[in-house]
Amino acid sequence: MGHIAVLSNPLSGKGRGQRVTEEALDHLRQRGADVRVYVGGSPAETRRLAMLALDAAPDGLVLVGGDGTLSGILDVVCAAGVPVTVVPAGTGNDLARALGLPRTDVAAAVELALTGLPRPIDIGEVRTSTGTSLFLTVAALGFDARVSDRTNRLRWPSGALRYYLALLIVLVRLRPLDFTIRADDGPVIPARGTLVAVGNTASYGGGMPVCVGAVPDDGTLDVVAVGPLGRLRLVRLFPVLLRGTHLARPEVHHLRAREVTVAAPGLVAYADGERVGEETCTISVRAAALTVMTDAERGDAHVR
């Protein structure tokens, strides 16, 4: 047998990554695995270490961190073709949720590197005038992306209060966007509205099922468009969204496509928590581009 590379982001989950890494390493060593450890303290360092780890041709890569940690090295991992074991240590962990991976039991999560079932999954690709980005979960365009953008630009306050302040600022300034949407080879359709979400998985933001029903191995993306809403109606939509029953609402439109182009003046797009584009975004699916180790007993639990 060869070795297992463990790539860790100790800062993920507000520092939870450090503890989770130690628990994961203890389990692997107790199981007799040959482990090589790489700890990255920044996205740039994590990317450099990922290339270093994969150049050594490991049997598998254990990734300790959040969705953003894996998202930042997706191109490197997919090119290497090495199966990834996700040990969730972020704040959202929506990929683990989508795949039915252990999210609180570190030993069970890292054990999949040794005894799990390889499962090919899709990833999303966002192309804009400035380049190409890959993502795992949901690309958000419109209201929620603007909240993320405003949160990142605020310097005060800290923690959750900064997000809530950004939410209030964007809500006060709420205006519908003049979206145009083109799915696959269909026509360009005007779609004035509040937001568009394009999902490879059902949820983002730690379990908000905006693209309820989306699964990451069906070769398609789920597109959810919300029509124009006033402030009060938007606030009232959030509990419905959290319950995953919003697709039945008349102001919500849902379709599936392999590729969708979304454009709007002033559009901002975020995916896996990172800004990925603006104005015009073409989002497509790369089918079965990534192999993730999953539980053999639960590996098909989320397949539609």
The per-residue b/e assignment along 27-41, b for 16 or more CB within 10 angstroms, e otherwise, is bbeeeebebebbbbe
Q: How many CA atoms lie within 13 A of 53 on its CB side?
A: 30
Q: Which of 13, 110, 128 is nearest to 63 (CA)?
A: 110
Could you give the CA distance from residue 137 to residue 203 in angstroms, rounded to a whole number? 7
Q: What's the rounded mean pLDDT across residues 109-119?
A: 96
Global confidence as pTM: 0.89
pLDDT at 302 over 60: no
Contacts of 300 (CB under 8 A, 6+ apart): none
Could you give the CA distance from residue 99 to residue 122 in angstroms, rounded to a whole number? 12
Q: Which of 65, 187, 68 is nearest to 133 (CA)?
A: 68
Which residue carries 């804009």 as its tokens?
Answer: 128
Token duo for residue 198: 């394009």
Q: Which amino acid is at 280?
A: T
Query: Which pLDDT tens digit goes with each residue over 31-82?
Result: 999 999 999 888 899 999 999 999 999 999 999 998 989 999 999 999 999 9
Could you give the CA distance from residue 147 to residue 144 in angstroms, rounded to a whole number? 5
Identify the pLDDT of residue 266.
87
